[in-house]
Chain A
Amino acid sequence: MKQYVISVKVENRFGVLARVAGLFSARGYNIDSLAVSATEQEDVSVMTIVVRGDDRVIEQVKKQLNKLIDVIKVSDHTCVPTVERELVLVKVTAPPVKRPEIYQLGEIFRADIADISNKTITLGVKGDPDHINNFIELLKPYGIKELMRTGRVSLLKE
């Protein structure tokens, strides 16, 4: 199944998230990631939804999203030029001998060291999804204890 990125501008009101999410869940679609964000307008939020599906169903979901009274605009970011950012926090096992390597890796990825304990280091990295995927891959051999991604935000390129 193909991955889609859909950006939905909505009224900043309670209940809107449930309405939007409901359209996906009612079709048995699992949302890969969802970021709800403030925008330049105080009363408007934007939801960036990453979801897998097929063209026909996603087309229908987009139309249904447009029908929601609280939805202002739906744009499909799947096949158009965009800038995307995501943040990840990774807690890796880090015995003293491995620490220099991990620091080095972090530097290459412009990670910040968010926390250090006796046995672990927690790093934060921001970037586009590929950047983050690569970072995670390279950390895997050390043993990832915990990981959390924010879900991407996506803006159309000018």
Chain B
Amino acid sequence: MKGADIIVESLKKEKVEYMFGYPGGVVIPIFHALHNAPFKFILTRHEQGAVHAADGYARASGRVGVVIATSGPGATNCVTGIATAHLDSVPLVVFTGQVKREQIGNDAFQEVDSTGITRPITKHNYLVQDIADLSRIIKEAFYIASTGRPGPVLIDVPVDISNGEHRFSYPDTVNIRSYKPVYEGHQGQIRKACHLIETAKRPVIYAGGGVVISNASQELREFVKKTGIPVTTTLLGLGVYPETDPLALEMLGMHGTYYANHAVNESDVLIAVGARFDDRVTGKIAEFIPNAKVIHIDIDPASVSKTVKVDVPIVGDCKYVLAEMNKQIKAPEISAWIEEISVMKRDHPLTYEKNNGTSIKPQYVVEEIYRQTNGEAIICTEVGQNQMWAAQFYKYTEPRTFISSGGLGTMGYGFPAAIGAQLARPDRRVIDIAGDGSIQMNIQELIVAVQHRLPVLIAILNNGFLGMVRQWQQLFWEKRYSHTCIDFAPDFVKLAEAYGAAGFRIEKNEEVAPALRQALDITDRPIILDFRVSREENVYPMVPAGQSFKEIIMRELLA
């Protein structure tokens, strides 16, 4: 069998449903084989779009996203997508073509050192040097990508391997002696953690993307039910605990709620579950959680005690560990603490200055999206203010319904990711909450959504600025809006029409709800809603970068 066919046969064994990619010289043999493959191929219009779409598919479905690109520029175009997946622990298998083995290292046409370039941004990568290894490598790649702390794996395939001949046999099992992820947490540590929690007076759960990845949302909910401990989540953890519940503190961190940040800071026991104490969460480390003992449950030992000292580390899968804790935990006596938190929630709600004229507040657009979708949509975001408002003003109640580039903060992620998510979840409405800057970074994928009749709704919160950067310039850089004004912009409605999508411009507050209703009625093509929002709206609360929670800015400081 040809190497190219071995790849396709292996993907069939992995029960691949979708592959995303873009062709080129050295992958023509693989594309030749793909022509007859039983799984669906999504031809994006840029390799970055392919990787983000596979990533969105993976996050929405919990399965491995699969990508193929050619050598050289095809591979380098994948880099941002791979790094995005790496930082957010998303399982991907990315195939890149490579020049013939004998040409490697000769600066051959479209040759780059793809394994070298992607080494620090993949969980692992391979250069296939012997066709006899090909199927084993693919098997390992899927295994590595999807187990332990997941991540992207790249397989670089020289064209003479794709064209070579070998017998096909797919291994049943993987045996990598140096890679054995630990799933069950240490029993002694689990007991210790339970004791600590049972005597806590002001405990808080801080849940992250790891809870989504390990599908531990049910276990977490049960844990909260048993203990009555309030829950805050990270950006990537949104939805693991219903934000509509009284014990939900919603998001913490730089743009988190006052009560989440306050509760964490005042806590005596912080239970971190599948979260990694990112600097956007902790702010100034020296002043973070001055009085708390920390329990940290994470599958990645390297995440434990990386930035914050941990008292009870538990290395293991959140799902296993929480299930184990649920068997033995007893509720602590924390009614005073819960009372204090509910007062805080009442006194410092997440809010914004409601508009007094016809101008559209971006936060209101997000709230209206929440209302009209009954909170049942899958929300993807771009990066910037749009991302933070999407996180704050939509209430997430299920895991895998908020999809966003957290770690890398990649503008241009949301829309291609929404395409992948819509393919994974045809039963749900997928909405990309976008900025006018970010959406222009991968707008070429609009034609893909049109071609596949995907009703992805793009809600552009169009402020004519690179808003988040402008906000920093306003607050910390003398209001000098150096090169952040982008009101020299395309007509997004015409642009939608040019692609065969629907497009509407919304300029008045009272038009928001009807326009959304109209858009949600369209189910056979993508829709761009160009919301002209008030231009200098800021995201609050805000804990300035590198500062402690005490410096939180709650609202506009009127001069």
Interface residues of A (CB under 8 A from B): 11, 14-15, 18-19, 22, 26, 59-60, 63-64, 66-73
Contacts and interface: CB of A to CB of B under 8 A. Distances in A.
14 contacts: A14-B127, A14-B129, A15-B119, A15-B127, A18-B119, A19-B119, A63-B301, A66-B301, A68-B178, A69-B124, A69-B178, A72-B177, A72-B178, A73-B178
A67 B304 CA distance: 13
A22 B121 CA distance: 11
A18 B120 contact: no
Nearest to A9: B178
Contacts of A66: 301-302
A22 B367 CA distance: 45
A25 to B, nearest CB: 10
Nearest 9 pairs of A and B residues by beta carbon: A63-B302, A72-B178, A69-B124, A69-B179, A64-B302, A63-B301, A67-B302, A71-B178, A22-B119
Given A15-B115, A22-B119, A26-B120, A70 B178 contact: yes
B452 interface: no
A41 to B, nearest CB: 11
Contacts of B286: none
Given A14-B129, A69-B123, 16 more contacts: A11-B178, A14-B127, A15-B119, A18-B119, A26-B120, A60-B302, A66-B302, A67-B301, A68-B124, A68-B178, A69-B178, A70-B178, A71-B178, A72-B177, A72-B178, A73-B178
Interface string B168-198: 0000000011110000000000000000000
A137 B468 CA distance: 59
B116 interface: yes
A69 B302 contact: no
Nearest to B303: A63
Given A15-B127, A60-B306, A69-B144, A22 B120 contact: yes
A72 B116 CA distance: 21
B376 interface: no
Interface string B105-142: 00000000001100110011001010000000000000
Contacts of A73: 178
B17 interface: no
Q: How large is the interface on B (under 10, 10 to 19, 20 to 34, 35 or more residues)?
A: 10 to 19
B165 interface: no
B54 to A, nearest CB: 21
Interface centre among A11, A15, A26 (most CB of B within 10 A): A15
Contacts of B306: 60, 63
B324 interface: no
Contact of A67 (B116, B119, B129, B300): B300
B116 A18 contact: yes
Nearest to B149: A67
Interface in B290-317: 300-302, 305-306
Chain B CB count within 10 A is highest, among A18, A66, A69, A71, for A69
A67 B144 CA distance: 11
Contacts of A64: 302
Contacts of A19: 119
A115 B383 CA distance: 65
B337 to A, nearest CB: 32
Contacts of A59: 305
Contacts of A71: 178
A22 B123 CA distance: 14
Contacts of A18: 116, 119
A106 B390 CA distance: 74
A66 to B, nearest CB: 7
A59 B305 CA distance: 10
A22 B118 CA distance: 12
A59 B306 CA distance: 9
A19 B122 CA distance: 11
Nearest to A60: B306
A62 B201 CA distance: 36
B147 to A, nearest CB: 11
Contacts of A69: 123-124, 144, 176, 178-179
B20 to A, nearest CB: 24
Nearest to A71: B178
A18 B122 CA distance: 14
Nearest to B127: A15
A93 B306 CA distance: 50
Interface in B77-130: 115-116, 119-120, 123-124, 127, 129
A22 B127 CA distance: 17
Contacts of B123: 69
Contacts of A67: 300-302
Nearest to B148: A67
Contacts of B301: 63, 66-67
Interface centre among A14, A22, A59, A67 (most CB of B within 10 A): A67
A22 B113 CA distance: 15
A153 B431 CA distance: 58
B155 to A, nearest CB: 13
Nearest to A11: B178
Nearest to A10: B178
A70 B123 CA distance: 11
Contacts of A68: 124, 178
Contacts of B120: 22, 26
B154 to A, nearest CB: 12
B462 to A, nearest CB: 38
A35 to B, nearest CB: 20
A74 to B, nearest CB: 10
Contacts of B177: 72
Nearest to A25: B120
A13 to B, nearest CB: 10
Contacts of B179: 69
